[in-house]
Amino acid sequence: MDYQTLPKLVRRLLKITANGNVTLPSRRQMSSKLFALLALVPGITSMVMAIALNQTSVIAFIISAIFFCSISLLLFSRKRILEFDSATQQVYLSTSLWHFFQKRSAIAPFNALTCELTSLGTKGPYQVTVAEQKYVLDDYQDAYALLAFLSAHYKLPVTENISNWPNKTPLCFDNIKAADIKPFGQTETLSNKRDVYIEIWDRKSIIKFSLPFFLFTVLGALVKYGVF
């Protein structure tokens, strides 16, 4: 399967590096972009306030604008991707900042990777799991094409648990056209909606993110009632 024949949505997810390796964005890269967007809100607000207010308050807003915009810029420039290296037959986690401080750490050889196709509902969307990273696609053709490309080029073992849920069975790839690909047990296209999502929050991440809120809530209650 050639890269140029992949659906446009899949090519938006898969990228080819200068040395010919294929990359996928990681969950942490997408969460960094999310926090970068959030940091832009107070940064832009502070810039507007610095322009609108008089000189007595402008310094504080300038400092605030520089702080939040710098954080946003750093988070946008942070890069964490999965890189499939044909030469070493391994997948790496590649990190960099403004294309500097580049670092690669091996995750696993191709034959030991976890690749799985799952349906999140009776009629989709479809979740593709690669090296513990989760990508959710609305259309079955896109999910199938993504896994077919990785399997064809890197011989990755791929399983699905849709046809015989909850059992995992090997997913078979053949030479049929993407337009002819149909979900298991379905004979017609269910929806024209096509999009892709990368799972940012898993259960452990949500728990870790919530811990400071509960901690400060408890501390506030203890202070309020005179324990401290």
> Looking at the 3D structure of the chain, how many domains does it have?
1
The reply to whether 65 falls in a domain is: no
Chain length of the chain: 228
CA distance 133 to 50: 42
Query: What tens digit of pLDDT does each residue of 104-138 get?
Result: 888 888 888 888 888 887 777 888 888 888 888 88
CA distances from 182 to 31, 122, 141, 185, 215 (A): 32, 14, 7, 8, 49
Domain-located, residue 43: no
Q: What secondary structure does DSSP assign to 183-206, as a single string?
A: -TT--S---S---EEE----HHHH
CA distance 108 to 64: 43
Residue 181 lies inside a defined structural domain of this protein: yes
For 139-146, what is the mean pLDDT? 87
Q: Which domain holds residue 91?
A: 3-31+79-198
Ranges of H-type helices in the chain = 8-13, 27-52, 55-77, 140-154, 203-224
Answer whether residue 113 is part of any domain. Answer: yes
- 140 part of a folded domain: yes
From CA 223, how far away is CA 220, in angstroms rounded?
5
In a domain, 220, yes or no: no
- Residue 135: inside a domain, yes or no? yes
Instruction: Examine residue 51 and state whether it is found in any structural domain, yes or no.
Output: no
Give the tens place of pLDDT for each residue, 40-71: 888 888 888 777 776 666 777 788 888 888 88
Helices (H), 14-54: 27-52
CB-hemisphere CA count at 13 Å for 181? 21
Show the tokens assigned to 38. 């959030």
The reported pTM is: 0.67
pLDDT score of 97: 83
